[in-house]
Chains A and B, each alone.
Chain A
Amino acid sequence: MKPMISLLVMILLAALPMTARAADDMAGMDMSMPHAMTAPAATTTSPAGPVPTIVVAPRVEEGNRMLGATVTLNGKPLVGAQVSFLVQRSFGIMNIGHDETLDDGVAAVKFPEGLPGGAAGTLHIIVRVAGTPRYAAASTDATIDADIIVVPDPDPFPRAIWAPKAPIPLILTLALALAGVWTTFVFVIIQLRALYKAR
């Protein structure tokens, strides 16, 4: 018995630091994952230099729907800035285009037509301006209306592991099978009790 207790204690002692380390790992985890896009507009991502200001808005240029970003530095249009346009998707950030600002500080890419906007019908746009020795890198995000609204199916995978409820027929089948077998076990135990009483 003693060796068994010792082994149990060893396992418990071994498990303690594991749990502590797991907690440390969680604490040190990089929480700035793509899905946590709650940063305020025009945040600096580089410490050096003044921070450009970015304003995002859909626009029409020569009859084409565009997604534009007006970049200013100290209230004046910033010319020649490298601007990336991205959109937040379920599992990451998708690049939808890149442009350089013109004299009016505007960079624009083709509007992401056909990109589903989810249940709310909106697209979460992220615009990043690359930093240079003259000014710091900057980023902002904005929500715009998408062309396509996806109405979620309330029960798309009724038998999937992540589905909220198991189908009734499945529950009934499992319950009946298990009840049948365990009832038989109980019957056998009743027979053993009768055997004991007949001693």
Chain B
Amino acid sequence: MVNGPSVPSASSADGTPPPAPESALARHITTEIGTTLALPRGGERLWILFLLLVITAGAAAYIMQLIYGLSVTGMRDYVSWGVYMTNFVFFIGVSHAGTLISAILRVTNAEWRRPITRMAEGITVFALLVGAPMVIVDMGRPDRLQHVILYGRLNSPILWDVLSVTTYITGSFLYLYVASIPDFAILARQGSTGNTFSVLRLRIYNFFSLGYRGTPQQKHHLERALGTMAVVIIPVAVSVHTVVSWVFGMTLRPGWHSTIFGPYFVIGAIFSGTAGIVLAMAVFRRVYGLEKYLTNRHFRYLGTLLLVFNILYIYFTLSEYLTTWYGGESVDMRLVDMLMGASHFGPLFWGTIVFGLFVPAILLVLPIKKTIAPIVIAAILVNIGMWVKRYLIIIPTMLTPFIDPKAAGATPSYIPTFVEWMITAAAFAFFLLLFTMFAKFLPIISIWETVEGVETLGAERTGVSPELQKLAGKEIQ
């Protein structure tokens, strides 16, 4: 369970008691982090414009797909899941960032999590919002989406996926919101953020703050809500990626029908999710100058976690392919030959193994403490590698049916088309846009958790700059 926030209260225009005295530390942190909430300027506007352009191009590509059907994609009778489903699995995987960083570290009282929980929870929600609709994009007749509900069968892992992803999205939204209530209360007072918010924006903050003033009773309810969500969201997240793996694993296809697919997918999801949070931290730290809050220590700790999951993923990959290869079933061997042999998947497979798994592991064990560059480079490689790995899990298996296509005189192939790449680019742009806009609406670093951490545990344990410690304990009216 979490400790109650020691942050000040929301406005009291309705005659409630005046706000409690605000500490100098709380004011300082609120002012510094509050700068991220200013309206977009210069480079930020260009960035948003660029993202909007990519999203518009992707929307146009999707409209073209709606008009002409899936014939504008590279998908045909053999390959019905292409880059869209790759994106789906990838984004669901990235969404595990919030669960790992926020929930697991919260439950285990890892206090250094405090400045990075908000980002992690945001990644979870936005990755789900972008990833889940990729299934609809993959549908040839999205106008029949309601059939999943009307005629869905509980026998089908696809329906299990719909149920678990819906539950996960709801839970992630709730978790992000509960953890943000004290910050909504801070923002509703706007003064200490150094910004001048519009009346509408203040009303929104006030509405979502639920009148939080940090009273012992309110802290008690917040603790219970947050503690409960932190516990329940972990099995939900694990079950979601397990069910995603079952969509593949429950089918009798080479490369998919494997009992380790559940844990293999879960480890892969946490692996890419951790890499995702490292990248987000690096970007926000650089863009908004948050070096005091996102310190080298945070990167080192996350780098260690990333290394652990990197090694685990190597282990699972070895176990999966060694078993398949050693078994030597003819259809499995066709898949192994395609993946590791002379086909165009060979360089992709070995490139992923080398640059997506082993090079990051080497970078992460380097004894470098003064720079975060190796960890960030490792995170970039891991994210690229994990996207390609999902591509390699889906496509080669679809090209390897039990009856050899050669026997039927067919030569199946799959090359993603421009339409697919544009929609994929738009999905990534939409994810980045949601994150950018989120950072303009809520502090990207949880103010109340950071203040509470420094005040009650010290800067050292919270992982933030020791400069902040000097301000702790001083109070201003």
Contact = CB atoms under 8 A, between A and B. Distances in A.
B232 A196 contact: no
Contacts of B155: 159-161, 163, 166-167, 170
Contact of A182 (B154, B156, B167, B239): B167
A178 B59 contact: no
Contacts of B158: 161
A161 B63 CA distance: 31
Given A11-B63, A184-B232, A199 B211 contact: yes
B229 A196 contact: no
Nearest to B154: A166
B153 A161 contact: yes
Contacts, number: 85
A192 interface: yes
Contact of A181 (B16, B181, B224, B232): B232
Given A17-B67, A174-B163, A192 B218 contact: no
A7 B181 CA distance: 34
Among A162, A178, A198, find the residue whose CB has the most chain B CB atoms closer than 10 A.
A198
B96 to A, nearest CB: 17
B156 A161 contact: yes
Contacts of B232: 181, 184-185
Contacts of A192: 178, 181, 210, 221, 225
Interface string B203-226: 000000011110101100110110
A195 B156 contact: no
A160 B213 CA distance: 54
Nearest to A25: B69
Contacts of B215: 198
A177 B164 CA distance: 10
A170 B59 contact: no
A188 interface: yes
Nearest to B210: A196
A198 B217 contact: yes
Interface in B140-154: 141, 143, 153-154
A26 B211 CA distance: 59
A199 B212 contact: yes
Nearest to B166: A178
B221 A15 contact: no
Given A160-B155, A177-B239, A185 B171 contact: yes
Size class of the B contact interface (CB-based, 8 Å)? 35 or more
B13 to A, nearest CB: 12
A7 B56 CA distance: 10
A83 to B, nearest CB: 28
B221 A19 contact: no
From A15, A19, A182, A185, residue with most partner B Cβ within 10 Å: A185
A185 B170 contact: yes
Interface majority SS on A: helix, strand, loop or mixed?
Answer: helix
B160 interface: yes
A188 B221 CA distance: 9
A166 B232 CA distance: 27
A105 to B, nearest CB: 38
Nearest to A196: B210
Interface in A166-189: 166-167, 170-171, 174, 177-178, 181-182, 184-185, 187-189
A19 B211 CA distance: 50
B413 interface: no
A185 B171 CA distance: 7
Given A166-B153, A170-B155, A198-B221, A14 B228 contact: no
B236 interface: yes
Interface string A1-41: 00000010011001101110010000000000000000000
A184 B236 CA distance: 11
Contacts of A10: 63
Contacts of B225: 188, 191-192, 195
Given A184-B232, A199-B210, A174 B160 contact: yes
B434 interface: no
Interface in B198-256: 210-213, 215, 217-218, 221-222, 224-225, 228-229, 232, 236, 239
A194 interface: yes
Contacts of A191: 221-222, 224-225, 228
Interface in B4-18: 16
Nearest to B216: A198
A194 B212 CA distance: 11
B167 A181 contact: yes
A32 B221 CA distance: 68
A182 B236 CA distance: 11
A178 B170 CA distance: 12
Contacts of B16: 199
Interface in B58-110: 59, 63, 66-67, 69
Interface of A: 7, 10-11, 14-15, 17-19, 22, 159-163, 166-167, 170-171, 174, 177-178, 181-182, 184-185, 187-189, 191-192, 194-196, 198-199
14 contacts: A7-B59, A14-B63, A18-B67, A161-B153, A161-B158, A163-B153, A166-B154, A167-B155, A170-B155, A181-B171, A182-B167, A184-B232, A195-B222, A199-B213
Interface of B: 16, 59, 63, 66-67, 69, 141, 143, 153-156, 158, 160, 163, 167, 170-171, 174, 178, 181, 210-213, 215, 217-218, 221-222, 224-225, 228-229, 232, 236, 239
Given A161-B158, A184-B232, A192-B221, 16 more contacts: A10-B63, A18-B66, A160-B155, A161-B153, A166-B153, A166-B155, A174-B160, A181-B167, A181-B171, A184-B228, A188-B174, A188-B228, A191-B224, A195-B181, A196-B210, A198-B215
